[in-house]
Structure 1
Amino acid sequence: MAHKPQIKIPATYMRGGTSKGVFFRLQNLPEAAQVPGKARDNLLLRVIGSPDPYGKQTDGMGGATSSTSKTVILAPPTQPNHDVDYLFGQVSIDKAFVDWSGNCGNLSAAVGAFAISSGMVDASRVPQNGTAVVRIWQANIGKTIIAHIPITDGEVQETGDFELDGVTFPAAEVQIEFMDPAADEDGGGGSMFPTGNLVDDLEVPGVGTLKATMIDAGIPTIFINASDVGYKGTELQEALNGNIDELLKFETIRAYGAVKMGLIKHIDEAAERQHTPKVAFVATPAEYIASSGKQVAAGEVDLLVRALSMGKMHHAMMGTAAVAIGTAAAIPGTLVNLAAGGGDRTSVVFGHPSGTLRVGAEATQINGEWVVKKAIMSRSARVLMEGWVRVPPCF
């Protein structure tokens, strides 16, 4: 019996922030996968190595964590005054689906660099030395991201001395601006608090009634107090990720929060929407030892945050959740703001399992609605490998 050869597709494997993913140019995908649908999803699942009942993604490019089971497709801009369209696909590890419902803030740091290196940004806009400003249209959620990419001798600079907790080695700093993070897809400034409240009573059967700040900024996120669910906010991954009952508790909180936010109609739908919303717990500052062994003093941070992604505690912090943290911290009365000490804030430093991160946001009230024009943070990015990815025929 004759067997068809593998498909060979140009691809680049990149780290962006504390995530890794496989990057493609839309035009390089097989024709059937150049449009949304089953063929594209099947291709990306096979590239990453999912679904894998062993949970290892050994037969693909994935790293068996939510941070490393990611794909990116870049295309020419569909919006005026933008350089590139960026579409993100979060690939499930053990199930046969790709979640297109949100963005990856960490990989956003790599998009500008990839776009420049791939010739997708007009050469006249890339200085010989200095900073290239790349305007990115985030196609999943209809938002603009502005990336400031360092350039040396006409090429993207990847090496440097910027250190990011959660990433082992230093690299060049990339500043990212998430514009109108709570706006709707038309930039019309949709409410960032879907329930209309800064704090809600979230009833979760089997868990209880929890105080919750549910915000849609960067990515839909449900914030709860660590103490309300039996935690201190200083926990590392092993305190939670090996406990099936605790993970199920947080998934139940996430499902009921998603319903209250209007993201799904019934809790059963949460299983098919793993990427959003996120759920995170916050606490006031306390001393702890990060996963790297680094000592984090209580005086170094404004608050502590631990977040779950794709059903597990994240090893650091999702970039989009950091946007949600910065935005919520800037609005007096949210649980995030209260954990940080309350009052008016334009930036916070929060502690996460790998260390600390600073994120800034400025909030104003217009006609009774809270509005944030942009959230800012720094990440780093670099190419890990480039060439072709090969997969068996899968569509």
Structure 2
Amino acid sequence: MSQLPQIKIAATYMRGGTSKGVFFRLQDLPEAAQQPGPARDKLLMRVIGSPDPYGKQIDGMGGATSSTSKTVIVAKSTRPGHDVDYLFGQVAIDKAFVDWSGNCGNLSAAVGPFAISGGLIDPERVPDNGVATVRIWQANIGKTIVAHVPITNGLVQETGDFELDGVTFPAAEVQLEFLDPAAEEEGAGGAMFPTGNLVDDLDVPGVGTLKATMINAGIPTIFVNAEAIGYTGTELQDAINSDASALEKFETLRAHGALRMGLIKDLDEIATRQHTPKIAFVAKPADYTASSGKRVQAGDVDLLVRAMSMGKLHHAMMGTAAVAIGTAAAIPGTLVNLAAGGGERNAVRFGHPSGTLRVGAEANQQDGQWSVTKAIMSRSARVLMEGWVRVPGDAF
């Protein structure tokens, strides 16, 4: 039996926000993987090290968590008013599939820097010193993201004093604007609130009837009250991720919420849709100790939020879920807004397992329908390694 040698593919390993992933320019992928389909999925899974029944991704670039099992493909955009197209692939860890159903808000912070450094942006658009504005078409959900990338001496500035809870070291701040963030999900009719309600009664067998805010903004998200499911909103990862019955309950909640949102047609479909929708629980402010040992006081935040990602409690907060939080907080009457004290607001600071995060949103109501023009938050990004990834020649 002949053995094919490994092939090498130009790639960059980057941190964006509280996530990290392997970034590719579309033009650098093997020809078979330059189009959507099985070859692309197989290649990306092999790069990351999935599927791995051991759940460790030892034979790949993945870090065995939802935050570190990610891939990004960037190309020059032919869409008017945009610089690059950005496609995000969430690679399952122990199963053989790549979920293309949503965006990664954290890695969105790294797309602009990657595009500039990778020669995908017209050099005339990049100042010698200042801020470069990169208009990104998020191809998974068909939305525009505007990244404001700091530039020093003609190069992307990566170091700085911006601190982001969930990231150990400070870096340069990258401000992101998510324009018209209500997600146009298939089956949801493009509505921000696909059921037509700010709060619904969600019947979940084995759990009961829960109040839920189901919103398409940033990423489809189901919000429930922490106390309604036996939590306080101050939980850290181990409290939930070590509890198999809790994980099963959250997945059941997520499946029934997805069905009500029109994202799936029957409950069995949820098994092949791990990335979306997200499920999160909210609570009023309370004191707690973050995973780093940092003390978060009730007075530091407007509310508490914990969110599940790929079947586990996230160590901080997904960027897209932060957009959903900011959007829901800006609309009086949602569970997120009520947990934050109710009323009108254009920004919210929430507590998550690693600390706190602020996100802003501009909401308005016309003819009884809510819309959000943009959500704004700051992240940071940094190149961790660049060069080539290698995969066996028969991997795809």
For normalisation by structure 1, the TM-score amounts to 0.98
Aligned residues: 393
Amino acid at match of 1:394: A
Residue identity opposite 2:84 in structure 1:
V
- 1:263-291 CA deviation, whole Å, 9 max, x = no partner? 00111100100000000000000000000
Residue 383 (structure 1) aligned with residue 383 (structure 2) = yes
| Cα gap change, 1:21 to 1:107, in 2 (>3 Å) | same
1:394 aligns with 395
* Correspondence for 2:257: 257
Question: What is the rounded CA distance, in whole Å, between the counterparts of 1:6 and 1:107 in structure 2?
Answer: 28
Counterparts of 1:279 and 1:305, CA distance in 2: 10
Matched residue, 2:3:
3
Structure 1 residue runs without a partner (length 5+): none
Q: Do 2:185 and 2:263's aligned partners in 1 also have CA atoms closer than 8 Å?
A: no
Q: Which runs of structure 1 show a deviation greater than 3 angstroms over 4 or more consecutive aligned residues?
A: 183-186
Whole-angstrom distance in 1 between the partners of 2:21 and 2:194 = 31
Alignment of 1:13-28 (within 5 A): 13-28=13-28
- What's the CA shift for 1:383? 0.2
RMSD: 1.1
Whole-angstrom distance in 2 between the partners of 1:11 and 1:185 = 30
Partners of 2:183 and 2:220 within 8 A in 1: no
Q: 1:185 Cα deviation (Å)?
A: 8.3
Structure 2 partner of 1:141: 141
Contact 2:236 2:290 in 1 (8 A): yes
What's the CA shift string for 1:41-93, capped at 9, x where partnerless? 00000000000000000000000000000000001103101000000000000
Equivalent pair of 1:143/1:185 in contact (CA under 8 Å): no
1 CA distance for matches of 2:42 and 2:248? Answer: 28
Q: Which residue of 1 aligns with 2:130?
A: 130
Question: Does the 8 A contact of 2:172 with 2:380 survive in 1?
Answer: yes
2:183–2:218 CA contact under 8 A, matched in 1 = no
Tell me how far 1:184 sits from its aligned partner: 3.5
Percentage identity across paired residues of the two chains: 80
Deviations 1:150-198 (A, max 9, x none): 0000000000000000000000000000000015389xx9320000000
Question: What is the rounded CA distance, in whole Å, between the counterparts of 1:190 and 1:4 in structure 2?
Answer: 46
State the partner residue of 2:284: 284
Question: C-alpha distance in 1, partners of 2:339/2:78?
Answer: 40
| 1:368 positional shift | 1.4
Is the aligned partner of 1:327 residue 2:327? Answer: yes
Which residue does 1:314 correspond to in 2?
A: 314
The whole-number CA distance in structure 1 between the counterparts of 2:275 and 2:366 is 31
The one-letter amino acid paired with 1:129 is N
Amino acid at match of 1:214: M
> Which sections of structure 2, spanning at least 5 residues, go unmatched?
none
Query: Does the CA contact (< 8 Å) of 1:191 and 1:369 recur in 2?
Result: no
AA in 2 matched with 1:41? D
1:65·1:93 contact (CA, 8 Å) conserved in 2?
yes
Q: Contact 1:85–1:136 (CA<8 Å) still a contact in 2?
A: yes
| 2-structure distance, mates of 1:175, 1:55 | 34
| DSSP-derived class of the 1:67 partner | helix
Post-superposition CA distance 1:178-229 (Å, at most 9, x none)? 000015389xx93200000000000000110000000000000000000000
